[in-house]
Structure 1
Amino acid sequence: MTFIAFIIGTAGSGKSFLTSALVNKMRQERQKVAILNLDPGVVNLPYTPDIDIRDYVTVDEVMEKYGLGPNGALIMAADLIVNEIEHLREEVEDLNPDILIADTPGQMELFAFRASGPFLVRALSDDPEAIIYLFDSIFSYNPLNYVSNMFLSAAVHIRFLLPQVHVLSKCDLLPRRDLDTLIEWSESPEALELAIDERLKGTSRLLSQNISQAIQLLDLNFPLIPVSSKTNEGLTELNAMLERIFKGGEKITY
């Protein structure tokens, strides 16, 4: 059985660096883990993928074959991934890791908001899967941006309907006081409402209030795990959360 965690977040939120740091942490703990790169357009990665979609589809090849520009080729390449699912499944089965960390495309919408993304997730494996959604700490330290990220995270959850872990990425770039504020927003709707009232005005305030309240009505929760791919803060907690999701709290042994 191979558990799969898909790392999703907005462009620049640190998905690939988190993939690298988390897998290194798991390997230090002697976990049998592998990396799947699902970005057909990436040039450089901070890790060596064990399975790489670029072995089957690349943006450059799509541009040349179909005469598309970079943006059109990115979209088409993301959709063409579904044609390679059997190859990907075979590679996963051959490697047979206990857990597979899947690094998704930099542009979140290519994976989360096109039909090919959920189809790939369903078809890639019959084993348990989960989402790791990244809140960029620098971007999120504003009630309007934070609520926007909540909305995106809720949309991702609705698209995939999988267990979802919420990570506050790049936490080493914020002072501890600001991190504590973000964590409080994630745990207390009242604290977030107060911040919206105090720091936003006019339409921004009204929309943020309504979106926040709508998410509460849906009973969606966004407790954040602060993580730094640079200092490794929070990686133990993130790994433990995955163990709780996949094994009910039991250690995933390898």
Structure 2
Amino acid sequence: MRYCQIVMGPAGSGKSTYCAALATHAADAKRTINVVNLDPAAERYNYTPVADIRDLIQLEDVMEDEEMKFGPNGGLVFSMEFLLENTEWLQDALGEIEDDYILFDCPGQIELYTHMDVMRKFVDLLQEWNFRVCGVFLIDSHFMVDGGKFISGAMAALSVMVNLEVPHVNVLSKIDLLSVGGRKQLERFIEPDTHSLTSDLQGTSGILGERYGDLTCSLAKVLDDYSLVKFFPLDITNEENIQDLLIMIDTTVQYGEDLDVKTQDFEYPDREDDNDQ
């Protein structure tokens, strides 16, 4: 059995930093976690990938093609579709090692995960290759300390969960960059009560304000009805925090349950020695 995380999220949410931190943490714990870069627009990252989609296709080449004339968003979609048409490249790069644990560092175009079928097809492919898949959706905590913005981010996370239909963990990233006041304010969003988060929007003055408040409350009701979206706060500088998140994800994909249990032989004392005593 093989294991992987599909690391998703908006641009700038800290996906590559997350992958680098998990790989480093695993190395310190005498454990191997590899990273695959699936962002054809990536310029730099702090890890050494076992496979890089830029060896197959680069966003600049797609955008500069005179026939296709794609922009950045269209180029990213085309690149991911091109990957699905050339899966033998990725399969050769990954090899056939059992008990692999791989992080797939994905592009920052959120449409790929929320409503398009590109990533769903990619997940189905990984499952055919005997991977247990966990979706990890990152959102910058700086944008999640307001009721309306939180509802928006939570709806995006819910869309990804419904679209991919795999075990899923939502992460609030960059907690270490929040101010003391921001961290205290964030506590009410970890286990959110959507009614309290939207109560200050009700009765907003003006037609647009009232409609905005009513819409936000309706979306909050959707989150309550599904009761699926919760967030794990991640401080990338805290090793214990990283370990807690990794344990949660490992439990989600049942990592280690198929591994052989290591035992140590125990020698019982001779009975004659016991009698002598």
TM-score range, shorter chain: 0.7 to 0.9
Q: Quick one: percent identity of the two aligned structures? A: 25
- Cα 1:206–1:251, aligned 2, differ >3 Å: closer, same or farther? farther
Q: Which residue of 2 aligns with 1:182?
A: 186
* Aligned with residue 170 of structure 1, among 174, 177, 191: 174
Q: Which residue of 1 aligns with 2:102?
A: 100
* Aligned with residue 115 of structure 1, among 100, 117, 120: 117
Q: CA deviation at 1:230?
A: 4.4
Matched, 1:77 2:79: yes
Q: Kindly provide the amino acid, as one letter, of the partner of residue 209 in structure 1.
A: C
Tell me the alpha carbon deviations over residues 94-149 of structure 1, each in whole angstroms, 9 at most, x when there is no partner.
Answer: 45553101110022223553322111111133321001111210011111110001
Is the 1:78–1:111 Cα contact (8 Å) retained in structure 2? no
- Structure with more of its chain in helix, by fraction: 1
Matched, 1:210 2:218: yes
Q: CA deviation at 1:26?
A: 1.2
Q: Which residue of 1 aligns with 2:273?
A: none
Q: CA deviation at 1:19?
A: 0.9
Q: Distance in 2 between matches of 1:134 and 1:239?
A: 14
Q: Distance in 1 between matches of 2:47 and 2:255?
A: 29
Tell me the alpha carbon deviations over residues 173-203 of structure 1, each in whole angstroms, 9 at most, x when there is no partner.
Answer: 22345334434333142xx321321266323
* TM-score, with structure 2 as normaliser: 0.81
- Cα 1:51–1:112, aligned 2, differ >3 Å: closer, same or farther? farther
Q: Distance in 1 between matches of 2:140 and 2:240?
A: 15
Is the 2:62–2:70 Cα contact (8 Å) retained in structure 1? no
Matched, 1:237 2:237: no
After superposition, where does 1:190-201 map in structure 2 within 5 Å?
Answer: 192-198=194-200, 201=204
- Cα 1:252–1:8, aligned 2, differ >3 Å: closer, same or farther? farther
Q: Distance in 2 between matches of 1:251 and 1:196?
A: 45
* Aligned with residue 135 of structure 2, among 126, 131, 135: 131
Secondary structure in structure 2 of the residue aligned to 1:247: coil
* Aligned with residue 221 of structure 1, among 207, 221, 229: 229
Secondary structure in structure 2 of the residue aligned to 1:235: helix
Q: CA deviation at 1:7?
A: 0.8
Q: What stretches of structure 1 of length at least 5 have no aligned partner?
A: none
The structure that has the greater radius of gyration is 2
Tell me the alpha carbon deviations over residues 54-101 of structure 1, each in whole angstroms, 9 at most, x when there is no partner.
Answer: 111111222344452432323322221211222212322345553101
* TM-score, with structure 1 as normaliser: 0.88
Q: Which fold has the larger relative contact order, with Cα–Cα distance below 8 Å and residues 6 or more apart in sequence?
A: 1
